[in-house]
Amino acid sequence: MADRIDTLVILGAGGDLTSRLLLPGLASYLASSRGAPLEIVGVDRDEVSDADWRSRVAAAFAEFPSANATKVAASTRYLQGDATDAHDLQRVLAEAEGRVALYFALPPAVTVLACTALATLDLPVGITFALEKPFGTDLASAHSLNRLLETMVPETQL
């Protein structure tokens, strides 16, 4: 399938949004008839071992158990990095395989900084950005972020 995501990179993996909403939602998808395994790479500033990250993912997946979820939880990785630092983002993207989706589990102001850093990089072909609402911190910043994103990837990849 052409739209299949091979690697999901979660920027802000240490946050509450990731634990309470994103990971359980992903487990629900993996348990569904449409679910397909993918690699998950968690990224945040805190130092976390792969084993601790895997444990956190497995706990969040427990609500929707499936063979896919078990496989994904067992192979997930964590990379320490700053989502606003172009060098760290380049390192993360270099370790992602196949078609990549970047999920911004970040506050709006940090998302803007991350996108500004990403705009300086050569992004992988077909990369998809997943951004949460609120988008920006006000109408003007939402327009500004939208204009920046338009220079980075086609709208179909947002």
Burial of 147 (0-12, 13-18, 19+ CB in 10 A): exposed
pLDDT tops 60 at residue 2? no
Average pLDDT of the residues in 123-139: 88
Give the alpha-carbon dihedral of 37, 39, 42, 43, to 10 degrees: -150
pTM value is 0.94
Beta bridge partners, 100, equal: 7
Distance CA 157, CA 64 (A): 28
pLDDT in tens, 25-79: 999 999 999 999 899 999 999 999 999 999 999 999 999 999 999 999 999 999 9
Q: How confident is the model at residue 134, as a pLDDT? A: 73
| Residue of higher predicted confidence among 137 and 96 | 96
pLDDT tops 60 at residue 156? yes
pLDDT in tens, 99-121: 999 999 999 889 999 999 999 99
Beta bridge partners, 140, equal: none
Give the alpha-carbon dihedral of 45, 20, 18, 97, to 10 degrees: 130
Q: How confident is the model at residue 136, as a pLDDT? A: 79
Nearest alpha carbon to residue 14 among 69, 81, 96, 70: 81
pLDDT in tens, 65-80: 999 999 999 999 999 9
pLDDT tops 60 at residue 90? yes
Q: How confident is the model at residue 1, as a pLDDT? A: 40
Q: How confident is the model at residue 133, as a pLDDT? A: 74
pLDDT tops 50 at residue 23? yes
